[in-house]
Amino acid sequence: MVPARTRLRRIILFSVFLATACEKPNRPATRPSAENHRPSGSVGTEAHPAAHPAAVDQWLGQWNGPEGTYLRIAKKAGRYSVRIQSLDGVATYAATQVGDHIEFQRDGKTESIRAGSGEQTGMKWLLEKKHCLVIKVGEGFCRD
């Protein structure tokens, strides 16, 4: 049996997901998806913008989300490791830098971590934040 607190967290996350999924398609241009975000000052091709490894290395360490969730990025011997504490538990993934973002495999799908704002996370708890990392709308983590 799932503890009541875990059930409540899942209900809240599902509600946020539904609210996000039901948004009107005419969102203002100031809220681009995490997939289309490019940090200011980055240069490169549309497929894989060029990024100096040091830019992504600035993401090393812990980024916090709501309700005790976090994203922790580590690097050892040139390889990245992504640890995500979600409401369902902790998971760790091997990751690589691709252009201006970090990619990892989760549940058979390639996920990307990109720089963004609190608004781009799509999460009301992070809306006012400026320095964030976004995996997808509804899954973001910030430092400020």
Query: Quick check: 103 and 111 in contact, CB under 8 A?
Result: yes
Q: Determine the Cα–Cα distance for residues 8 and 41; give it in Å rounded to an integer.
A: 41
Query: Quick check: 31 and 120 in contact, CB under 8 A?
Result: yes
- At 144, the pLDDT band (50, 70, 90 cuts) reads confident
Q: What is the pLDDT of residues 10-51, one digit of tens each?
A: 665 545 444 444 444 444 434 444 444 444 333 333 333 344
Q: Are strands 132-136 and 109-116 parallel, antiparallel or unpaired?
A: antiparallel
pTM: 0.64
To the question of domain 50-144 being in CATH 2.40.50, the answer is no
Largest CA distance in the chain: 51
Q: Determine the Cα–Cα distance for residues 65 and 97; give it in Å rounded to an integer.
A: 22
Q: Determine the Cα–Cα distance for residues 43 and 121; give it in Å rounded to an integer.
A: 23
Q: What is the pLDDT of residues 112-142, one digit of tens each?
A: 999 999 999 999 999 999 999 999 999 999 9
User: Tell me, what's the pLDDT at 12?
Assistant: 59
Q: What is the pLDDT of residues 72-82, one digit of tens each?
A: 999 999 899 99
Looking at per-residue confidence, does 55 or 144 come out higher?
A: 55
Q: Determine the Cα–Cα distance for residues 17 and 22; give it in Å rounded to an integer.
A: 9
Question: Is the pLDDT assigned to residue 102 strictly greater than 90?
Answer: yes
Domain ranges within the chain, ordered by starting residue: 50-144
User: Tell me, what's the pLDDT at 87?
Assistant: 92
User: Tell me, what's the pLDDT at 133?
Assistant: 97
